[in-house]
Structure 1
Amino acid sequence: MSEKKMNSSRRHHLKSLILSIGAGWLEQEKKDLVAAKAAYMSENCPTPSMSGDQAALMEACKKLHALLDKVDEERYDLESKVGKADKEIQDLKIKVVDLAGVKKPALKRVRLSADAMLKALLGSKHTVNMDLRANLKQVKKEVKEETVDAGDWRKNVEDKADRKKMFETT
């Protein structure tokens, strides 16, 4: 069963329909929020009565200030708890990273001579020669002249046979 592609006018119509439904939901949410706020205010904050003398009004103001102080203390306590929790979360994140360790990338083999490495590290200004063999002294070997008699080979074999017998007897 082949699926037909939606043409652009149909797609546009569906998008506008979805947007209009979403806009309606947002409006309804705003109305519900205003109604909930009004219900909360009427339940928790009755309208103050302004009738009476100045002493009664002063007493009402003192009560309101006491309530404000209480709310401010609660807000401060909650902010400090949240700050402590955030700090603890950060510490735990750091510990997790420390425990996991840093993953080392796979190293590639690079064929560089020692001179090329020093040039890369020290820059092109420093030309250090790492040819260590150039700094060594040259020592001339003395050639020993071996006196080899090109005599009778049988005599050599007999001498060796005597040595062999000497080792066998011990």
Structure 2
Amino acid sequence: MPQGKKMTTSRKHHLKSLMLKIAANWIEQETKDLAVAKKAHLDETCAKPNLTGDQAALIDVCKKLSTLIDKVDEDRYDAMMKVEKANKEIKDLKIKVVDLAGVKKPPLKRVRLTADTMLKALLGARNSVNMDLRSNLKQVKKEAKEEAADAGDWRKNVEDKADRKKMFETA
């Protein structure tokens, strides 16, 4: 198909249905082949017992079948235990992989809630608790600084600073 042209949708659907029909035929043929192979295997390995004869022969056949059933049951149990052991090992290895890789913590999202909204969310709208702590504080008036009064006598400040300068020079 040239690169410039695209396939129409009806053509795509037609090809898709053809592929599905072919696949369905293959699956059907495969199931028939499996059934034939199973029947052939059963006929080969499990021949029909000869049930003609006296009672002693039938009892003997039943004993043989019973021993075969016991053997198959033991094999089934052994296989089941192997599978359980393998599953346990797989589970332990998965736990080790998680332990080695560590658990990644998701990044935290910034939530902007005030204390009042958190309390309302936790306690409900009925219990209204006010968390405005500033309203409970005492009002304190600031006192005027004494330095403002001393600002007029600047000579005193200069003399104090001169004494400090002498301290640093002598050291």
Q: Mapping of 1:7-86 within 5 angstroms?
A: 8=10, 10-11=11-12, 13-86=14-87
Amino acid at match of 2:98: V
> What's the CA shift for 1:18?
2.8
Amino acid at match of 1:114: A
TM-score of the pair, normalised by structure 1: 0.69
> What's the CA shift for 1:160?
4.6
Structure 1 residues without counterparts, runs of 5 or longer: none
Output the CA distance in 2 between the equivalents of 1:22 and 1:148: 104
Amino acid at match of 2:109: K
Amino acid at match of 1:121: L
Cα 1:126–1:54 change in 2 (3 A) is same
TM-score of the pair, normalised by structure 2: 0.69
Cα 1:101–1:128 change in 2 (3 A) is farther
Partner of 2:135: 134
> What's the CA shift for 1:99?
4.2
Cα 1:128–1:63 change in 2 (3 A) is same
Task: Tell which structure's C-alpha radius of gyration is larger.
Answer: 1
Partner of 2:5: 3
Partner of 2:121: 120
What secondary structure sits across from 2:110 in the alignment? coil
Render the CA deviation track for 1:13-69: whole Å, top value 9, x for unaligned.
Answer: 534433443343233323322332233123212222223321111111100111011
Deviates further, 80-89 or 49-58: 80-89
Output the CA distance in 2 between the equivalents of 1:71 and 1:132: 80
What secondary structure sits across from 1:68 in the alignment? helix
Count of residues in correspondence between the two structures: 167
Structure 2 residues without counterparts, runs of 5 or longer: none
Output the CA distance in 2 between the equivalents of 1:138 and 1:47: 107
Output the CA distance in 1 between the equivalents of 2:6 and 2:150: 104
Partner of 1:105: 106
> What's the CA shift for 1:121?
3.1
